[in-house]
Copies of this chain bind each other. A is one copy, B any other.
């Protein structure tokens, strides 16, 4: 369905060509952003390809290292994570399609699980912009932003974790890898300010890996949606392993969920 400005033909005899600036393929060659795929296969890693697909150029060593670290950091967090639990439940009822189980696991990734990185990257961009425009410190901008978020009754993205309640072990490792000498990027510094503001306004809570990857991807120049895209690429590796284990070790329909009826 279309809103008020939608006016255009349908049922044409022919479909318009779709256009892309990512992949070109011919009878005997495939290029990704101008790089021959066979050269990429010989000379680069998958993290290079991920970077190339999203940025149109190959990464330098530091960039590649950070993409590798982020993808690994979110790859799996055990069957209790909603994405992994969902993939296993689907494997439990439908053993005809590996794709169905993996796809369902991905569907569980949203702003509430795994996808908060996108919200975080938007928050970081806004916060840094505010700090610069108003010539205030990151600390002040972060405190304002946290206050407003809590007043709206919303959660501060990138903060808090139900397993790692005092500290998410992945975050400082990622920030250490991102450091150039003593320098930290603006994204990392702003997320540290958010983290401190939450501690002051609410109570000490850990920065989680969504917050960590959002800070680093911001500093690498990725747009906010990358907070979800990169998480999904990493998590899919874990989903495939979780589904493989479900197939190998568990019978179909093994999941029993305790249910209480509380209607009339």
Contact = CB atoms under 8 A, between A and B. Distances in A.
A88 B54 CA distance: 16
B76 A53 contact: yes
Interface stretch (A136-144, A183-191, A202-210): A202-210
A23 B261 contact: yes
Contact of A113 (B1, B8, B261): B1
A41 B2 contact: no
A79 interface: yes
Contact of A15 (B44, B177, B244, B256): B256
Q: How many copies does the complex hold?
A: 4
B21 A155 contact: no
Nearest to A230: B240
A212 to B, nearest CB: 10
The number of chain A residues touching the other chain, given as a range, is 35 or more
Interface string A12-46: 11111111111111111110111001101110111
Question: Which DSSP category, helix, strand, loop or mixed, fits chain A's interface?
Answer: mixed
B237 A49 contact: yes
A234 to B, nearest CB: 7
Contacts of A103: 100, 103-104, 106-107
Contact of A90 (B13, B46, B104, B247): B104
A68 B94 contact: no
- Residue among A2, A37, A236, A240 facing the most chain B CB atoms (10 A cut-off): A2
Interface in A151-167: 154-167
A127 interface: no
A19 B14 CA distance: 13
B17 A98 contact: no
A173 B42 contact: yes
A60 interface: no
A220 interface: no
Interface of A: 1-30, 32-34, 37-38, 40-42, 44-50, 53-54, 67-69, 71-73, 75-80, 82-83, 85-86, 88-90, 92-104, 106-116, 118, 146, 149-150, 154-167, 169-170, 173-174, 177, 198, 202, 205, 208-210, 225-226, 228-230, 232-234, 236-238, 240-245, 247, 249, 252-253, 255-264
Given A1-B160, A46-B72, 5 more contacts: A50-B237, A96-B97, A99-B107, A99-B232, A113-B252
